[in-house]
Structure 1
Amino acid sequence: MSYEFERKHRVVVVGGGPGGYEAALTGAQLGAEVTLVERAGVGGSAVITDVVPSKSLISTAEAAIAVRDSDQLGVQFYARTDADKPVRPEVAVNLAAVNRRLLALAHEQSEDMRTTLENAGVRIITGEGRLDGQNAVIVSTARGEEGTDFDRIEADTVVVSVGASPRKLDSAMPDGERILTWTQLYSLQAIPEHLIVVGSGVTGAEFASAYRALGSKVTLISSRDQVLPGEDADAAGVVESVFRRNGMTVLNKSRADTVVRNGESVVVTLADGKTVEGSHCLMAVGSIPNTAGIGLRSAGVQLTESGHIRVNRVARTSIPSIYATGDCTNFMPLASVASMQGRTAIFHALGDAVTPIELRNVAANIFTQPQIATVGFSQKQIEEGVRRGEIYKLPLKVNPRAKMMGITDGFVKLFSSRGSGTVLGGVIVAPNASELVFPLALAVEHRLTVDQVARAFTVYPSLTGSISDAARAMHTVEE
């Protein structure tokens, strides 16, 4: 009598960022034999040098703002001199201590993720991975002075999650001391006296906002008419107004040609010949996918001109056995999207039930002060006729809870389908907008109408009451 045993499905994940982590964990939970290859640490750059440390820094900046602006709520801090006279102390930020804390948090998060994978049965290899055809990965691991070991791992499914790196310009090459990428900021030991930020996209705007709150003089150089050019125009206008009111210099329609170090300072030369001098410069001019030299083209995987991996809505590439997730793909570059891609890829590869990702249902947030949260169709798309819809905007300052909290900037904006009243999308500009957008994300995902949203109870007083108020104002009358 002979027995045949079914072999486990073999999954090799190259890169342990949010997408790779979720792919590995999901694969193990579904009974696959999973190997994760990661060169820096579980969590990838999102955890180690990007999302976790940057948002931790922003949380510190928010704390500094809360202390600094507390007198608006009647809370005042005073110290006593030797003559028993009250003196208001300055808010000081120990950046070296802040950076030690946030890097420790990043390391702790990475180790927690590693432990979760190991407990699930995932084999983790520290090394570099590259594809060897369509069903194998070559892993190189360092042996110190003895050289490098190479191992070939066969796979039924390969998931590529190698992320992206800061874009570097020859005319503004980072030196890690005065001219910096966002991954190099955490080595700073003191608050920059004058930080020049080149690039007004999400990364540039977030760090400009944070360092201004921490006490730096900040100049933000934007090549476009307005900061955050890809975002809702009203939302970007509010953020830019707050930037300027808080003392930030914003140079719109200005392009940086060169950035050079001059001793203990940096000089940025603009396209019109003008110069800006500061103590440090952050280059936030986009990112490039880490897809070069890892065997993708030889395996037949299609790439875009920019080097991003082309994937469909289940994260599958042009090769059936190869999937890809995260910033290395041509999908939306968000950690939450990468995680969803990782889960979806494994569900699809292993034949489980799968729902293709719908990008317009993705909620996104920009962690400036105030924050900008968005979901669904944009106002621009509605105005251009992509969808026929109604638009309603409610200033946050009329909300009773906002008044209690001293919030004067921001709004809730809803978009609904003309006729049916189905919620198409929305924008929230507010402190902690990332927490407020979830009801709108649910409404978009489940195609609720504005009347259904309005019928849900909100706490009084609460900032979420503005969502209900806006929905109520868009009430549709059945004909």
Structure 2
Amino acid sequence: MSTYDYDLFVIGAGSGGVRAARLTALDGKRVAIAEEHRVGGTCVIRGCVPKKFMVMASDFSHQFETARGYGWTVDASFDWKTFLEHKDVEIARLSGIYAANLGKAGVELVHGRAVLKDAHTVEIVGKGRTITAERILIATGGRPWVPEGLPGIEHAITSEEAFHLPELPKRILIAGGGYIAVEFAGIFAGLGVETTLVYRGPNLLRGFDDDVRAHLAGEIEKRGIKVVLASQHERIERTDAGLISLLDNGLTIETDVVMFATGRIPYVKGLGLEAAGVALTEAGAIRVDGHSRTTAPNIWAIGDVTDRINLTPVAIREAVAFHKTVYRDTPSRIDYEAVATAVFSQPPVGTVGLSEGEARRACTDGVDVYVSRFRPMKYAFTGSDERMLVKLVVDAGSQRVVGVHLVGPDAPEIIQLAAVAVKAGLTKGQWDATCAVHPTVAEELVTLREKQTPSQMAG
């Protein structure tokens, strides 16, 4: 008989933690999970799910505008508070499902902040409860990062507060150039807010393909978003008229709200890792091996707190691999190659595999690049000059398609199936042999025939 209270104790009831807890409990193990906020974690409560609802709500304004070109007369208005109410009801429903599924699996849900006291012991802060476990899994996710030393930063909000603004502002400045920044820029602009996006880098979406970055920057400006690159805040000042953002390029911008979307960091503060012998990387993430085991032999970590690929489906796969490794005697590792991702900007981005730059460094025989920029059929007679980008990156030696990059309508939906082909290692010839579905934007993926020439790439 085990001398511990539980076989497994999970800290953090997000997508990864919940999956690991449920699978382990269904195998007959004694499992508990602690959550200091709401069950569901970042994705369900303050991330991808409510954000996608906001994206869909904000995109209606663009659809109404397009509808006029098709002969529709549209008289519409938007009520922010009604939307928030409906969104919050759905989030509460989803959180309840997560909690119910834990209960059905036999997992004890502990509401409170769990802090490690040693490698086998956690304390539930403020509850007077200490729990022991044979194994511990850390799945606490990440939290927004803001520059704490910036004068006036206390006047700014992060994405977490943006989900609950009591009123829709008339003007907003968003600092950042990654997923969250460009997504919220599209959200607020679509809802009629005068939106400015400020980013310290030379272009948006650092780490993405350069053609994607340049194309998206141009397209979101067509949606009325003002983009200020190569600049950052020096300070924020509050006045009777609003918030004044003073930038290092000399610009002064007055808005009602300043939102920092400058990245997220692993949520490890005050977790007691040192007491348990759990080491961090130089970047502040929990150090793990290929099987998600930390430097403490009986403690594992998965998801954003490990800062590998910070996506919900990845965290879930890491949870499954943890369960197989530890409780099914089937050592399992996650393959992090060719993981597809989407940016729900407006227009959206879908990408999988290598960027052109990455491919040029990785492919010894060089690369072939195929690019198409065109106006989607939907906008043919609406007066819109929006363009779609479709790009294939091919290993010139093996002719494998190693990267697919899309910007435009339905890009996130298309990239999911394109990822299957990239993961399978299909060649450009096999893509070409696939008959097109016409008329669709996706058919460009199998009809691209002309490689970019050096002069086109330079241009």
What TM-score comes out, normalization by structure 1 length? Answer: 0.86
User: Do 1:396 and 1:407's aligned partners in 2 also have CA atoms closer than 8 Å?
Assistant: no
The answer for the alignment partner of 1:118 in structure 2 is: 103
User: Residue 212 of structure 1 corresponds to which residue in structure 2?
Assistant: 189
Question: What is the CA–CA distance in structure 2 between the aligned matches of 1:304 and 1:316, rounded to whole Å?
Answer: 13
The C-alpha deviation readout for 1:282-307, integer Å capped at 9, x for no partner, is 11122232212212122221202332
- SS of the residue corresponding to residue 88 of structure 2 reads helix
1:96 aligns with 2:81: yes
Equivalent residues in 2 for 1:149-228, closer than 5 Å: 149-155=128-134, 157-168=135-146, 169-171=148-150, 179-228=156-205
- 2:100 partner amino acid: T
- 2: CA distance, partners of 1:409 / 1:61: 20
Pick from 430, 433, 445 the counterpart of residue 408 of structure 2. 430
1:461 is matched with 439
Contact map agreement 2:287 2:295 (CA 8 A) in 1:
yes
> 1:249 is matched with which residue?
226
Distance 1:312 1:401 in 2: 48
Question: Is this contact kept in 1: 2:368–2:396, CA < 8 A?
Answer: no
In structure 2, how many angstroms separate the alpha carbons of the residues matched to 1:352 and 1:116? 25
Contact 1:315/1:342, CA 8 A, preserved across alignment = no
Paired residues for 1:46-61 under 5 Å: 46-61=43-58
- Residues 36-76 of structure 1 show CA distances to partners (whole Å, capped at 9, x for unaligned) of 1111121112211122111110111122211122123x132
Aligned 8 A contact 1:164 1:328 in 2: yes
Is 299-308 or 121-130 further displaced after alignment? 299-308
Contact kept? 1:396, 1:466, Cα under 8 Å:
no
Q: Distance in 2 between matches of 1:398 and 1:194?
A: 30
The 1:34–1:224 alpha-carbon spacing in structure 2 relative to 1, beyond 3 Å, is same
Deviation digits for residues 98-132 of structure 1, max 9, x if unmatched? Answer: 22222222211111111122112221111111223
Task: From 316, 324, 327, give the equivalent of 2:293.
Answer: 316
Structure 2 residues not aligned, in runs of 5+: 452-459
Match for residue 130 of structure 1 among 104, 115, 123: 115
Per the alignment, residue 145 of structure 1 pairs with none
Output the amino acid matched with 1:378.
S
Contact 2:368 2:395 in 1 (8 A): no
State yes or no: 1:32 paired with 2:29: yes
State how far apart, in whole Å, the 2-side matches of 1:376 and 1:441 are.
Answer: 8
In the alignment, the residues of structure 1 paired with residue 420 and residue 78 of structure 2 have an alpha-carbon distance, to the nearest angstrom, of 38
Distance 1:370 1:252 in 2: 19
SS of match in other structure, 2:128: strand
- Whether the 8 Å CA contact 1:399–1:465 is kept in 2: the answer is no
Judge conservation of contact 2:365–2:396 (CA < 8 Å) in 1: yes
SS, match of residue 119 in structure 2: coil
What is the rounded CA distance, in whole Å, between the counterparts of 2:86 and 2:176 in structure 1?
A: 27
Structure 1 residue matching 2:124: 3-state secondary structure: strand
- Please tell me whether the aligned partners of residues 280 and 287 of structure 2 are also in contact (alpha carbons under 8 angstroms): yes
Q: Which region of structure 1 is more displaced relative to structure 2, 22-31 or 403-412?
A: 403-412
- The AA in structure 2 aligned to 1:357 is I
- Report 1:8-407 matches (<5 A): 10-72=7-69, 74-77=70-73, 89=75, 91-140=76-125, 142=126, 148-155=127-134, 157-168=135-146, 169-171=148-150, 179-385=156-362, 388-395=365-372, 397=374
Is the Cα–Cα contact under 8 Å of residues 265 and 279 in structure 1 kept in the other structure?
yes
Equivalence for 1:414: 392
Separation of aligned partners in 1, 2:240 and 2:65: 33
What's the offset of the Cα at 1:8? 12
Residues 388 and 109 (structure 1 numbering): CA distance in 2 closer, same or farther, change over 3 Å? farther
Please say which of residues 314-323 and 449-458 is displaced more in the overlay: 449-458
SS in structure 2 opposite 1:28? helix
Write the letter of the residue equivalent to 2:257: H
CA 336–228 in structure 1, closer or farther in 2 if over 3 Å, else same:
same
Instruction: State the alpha-carbon separation in 1 of the partners of residues 60 and 331 from structure 2.
Output: 41
Q: Aligned pairs, how many?
A: 449
Which amino acid in structure 1 is aligned with residue 120 of structure 2?
Answer: N
1:97, distance to aligned residue in structure 2 (A): 1.5
Q: Secondary structure at the match of 1:250?
A: strand
Letter in 2 for 1:92: S
Q: Specify the alignment match of 1:477 in structure 2.
A: none
CA distance in 2, matches of 1:363, 1:398: 24
CA RMSD in angstroms comes to 2.7
1:245-284: per-residue Cα shift (whole Å, max 9, x none)?
2222111111111122223510111124431111111111
- What SS class does the counterpart of residue 399 from structure 2 fall into? coil
- Deviation string 1:209-264 (CA, Å, 9 cap, x unpaired) is 11111101111111111122332211121211122222221111111111222235
- The answer for unaligned runs of 5 or more in structure 1 is 79-88, 143-147, 475-479
Shift of 1:28: 2.4
Identity of aligned residues (%): 25
Q: Describe the SS at the equivalent of 1:383.
A: helix
For normalisation by structure 2, the TM-score amounts to: 0.90
User: Could you tell me whether the CA contact under 8 Å between 1:158 and 1:322 is conserved in 2?
Assistant: yes
Matched residue type, 1:410:
M
* Structure 1 residues 424 and 93, CA gap change in structure 2 (3 angstroms): same
For 1:403 and 1:387, the matched residues in 2 are separated by 41
2:91 counterpart letter in structure 1 = A
Assess, with a 3 A threshold, how the Cα gap between structure 1 residues 357 and 50 changes in structure 2: closer, same or farther.
same
